Amino acid sequence: MMPRNGGPFKRKMKRTYIRLVRLTKRFYVRFVRLRGTPQQISLGFALGILVGMTPFLGAHTVIAIFLASVFKWSKITAALGVFITNPITAPIMYPLTYRLGAMLTGFSEPIQWSRLLESVALIELLKNSPMIIIDMLVGGILVGIPLSIIVYFITHAIVSKAKKRIEMKKARRMLEKQTRSIVKTSLSL
């Protein structure tokens, strides 16, 4: 006979799902409450996405924050945007950007992954690494620009809507406070 509540695995999955939903809501609230206009926040995030598509893995955050400072966009959202490159997306993203860049520039020979374990192939790969990085940079920019544009418009719509809702709540609270104050003074007369 099966337990009515679905067992311990189902309960654990439900708790995990609830935690994930709460975490997502908390992130969303903090994201839309960031200082700056919706345009500054969205441009910072799009910049972070674009920088995150480049092959400079260790320097993404520094580059994004520096550029956001220069353009006076949101540094926090720029730093968040670079996390498009993470252990889950990098194995898909970097080969894609490399192949696209290599097709367009023709700087480096295509990597033969099956030969990579041979010492001669590894030495050849290291010799060609500057050209491979250029290929990845070109491919990353070509993939990153349209992705950044799409992310900009989506983020701008979300942040604008949320900031308007926050302003409406503030105005409503202020009006209620003024109304209570007027009623209180008129009752005391």
Alpha carbon distance, N-terminus to C-terminus of the chain: 73
Beta strands, E only, 94-160: none
Decide if pLDDT at 13 tops 90. Answer: no
Q: How many residues does the chain have?
A: 189
pLDDT in tens, 40-99: 999 999 999 999 999 998 899 999 999 999 999 999 999 999 999 888 988 889 888 988
Can you give the pLDDT at residue 12? 81
Can you give the pLDDT at residue 115? 65
Can you give the pLDDT at residue 113? 63
Can you give the pLDDT at residue 65? 94
Identity of the residue numbered 110: P
Distance separating alpha carbons of residues 55 and 95, to the nearest angstrom: 11
Residue of 73, 40, 74, 78 whose CA lies nearest to 61:
78
Distance separating alpha carbons of residues 164 and 81, to the nearest angstrom: 23
Can you give the pLDDT at residue 112? 67
What's the number of CA atoms in the CB half-sphere (13 Å) around residue 184?
A: 6
What share of residues in the chain are helix, strand, coil (percent, to 5)? 80, 0, 20
Output 144-150 pairs: Cβ under 8 A, ≥24 positions apart.
144/49, 144/50, 144/51, 144/52, 144/53, 144/54, 145/50, 147/49, 147/50, 147/53, 147/84, 148/46, 148/47, 148/49, 148/50, 149/46
Distance separating alpha carbons of residues 38 and 163, to the nearest angstrom: 8
Decide if pLDDT at 136 tops 80. Answer: yes
Decide if pLDDT at 107 tops 70. Answer: yes
Residue 136 region by backbone torsions, left for phi larger than 0, else alpha for psi between -120 and 50, else beta: alpha
pLDDT in tens, 148-158: 999 999 999 99
pLDDT band at 23 (very low <50, low <70, confident <90, very high): confident
